[in-house]
Amino acid sequence: MRVALKFAYDGKHFSGYARQPGQRTIEQELLDLFIKRKILGDAKTSCFRTASRTDRGVSALGNVCAFDTACSKEKIVNQLTEDTSDVFIYGVQSVEPDFYPRHATRREYRYYLKRNDLDVDALLSAVGLFTGEHNFQNFARVEPLKNPVRSIDNIVIVEKQDFLILDFYAQTFLWNQIRRIVSALEKRGRGVLSNEQIHAALEHPEQKVDFQMAAPEPLILKEVVYDFSFEYVKDYKKNLQSFENRIIASL
């Protein structure tokens, strides 16, 4: 049987997501837990895969992994769905044998940008430049042979206490894309960049510009959406809110 798990983690306490020799990573933490609880034998034979490999310092409230196992969903829930200090597994679902979690219908990211002395109206005036389909060569770390064209469905911004909360919605994102967009928006809010400069960087990707990259710690993978629902543990929403509060408390 192949199962998918939904989980959250505080990225500040790990050296990134992917396994690295001698480093504490989220992927290794998950695999060690699964092997210890006899949920799977190893990553290769269980075809362990993840929806998103987040950067070092980035957290998640709704990442997803999948693997093959002989265990029932009930046993997995009983063995794994417990709130730990840094990782919280809270959803499970049986999936098709060929399910690959990277093939999601939508991803949602959240960035907590400190307001400081930003001109919020100026920043908001630039948000719409990034929605729709664009070549994001100047706003991502594009790997060789990777298509830099992506479509952002929506960017929603709300003000809360000392933060501007930026929620990004798209099927897929490029490496570092959100952090580079946020950096450009933050510079627009400080008056360092104009809308015309941002528009030109999008319209002329062949003309290389670098608006730098925002810090990773305020970025959270909020949700990964599929065409099925997960079965969730009791009070998971309350626990997730506490988890998010803890993540942003140190920002």
CATH number at residue 160: 3.30.70.660
Whether 219 and 111 have beta carbons less than 8 Å apart is answered as yes
Whether 159 and 115 have beta carbons less than 8 Å apart is answered as yes
| Alpha-helical regions (H) of 106-208 | 120-127, 177-189, 195-203
Name the nearest CA neighbour of 126 among 61, 189, 33. 189
Q: HSE, CB side, 13 Å, CA atoms: give it for residue 43.
A: 12
Residues classed as catalytic: 55
Q: What is the pTM of this model?
A: 0.95
Does any domain span residue 213?
no
pLDDT at 39: 92
Q: How many CB atoms lie within 10 A of CB 213?
A: 19
* Amino acid at position 149, single letter: V
| Domain extent for 10 | 2-103+227-249
Does any domain span residue 160?
yes
pLDDT at 74: 87
* 39/90 same-domain check: yes
pLDDT at 88 over 70: yes
Per-residue pLDDT tens over the stretch 1-32:
999 999 999 999 999 999 888 899 999 999 99
pLDDT at 67 over 90: yes
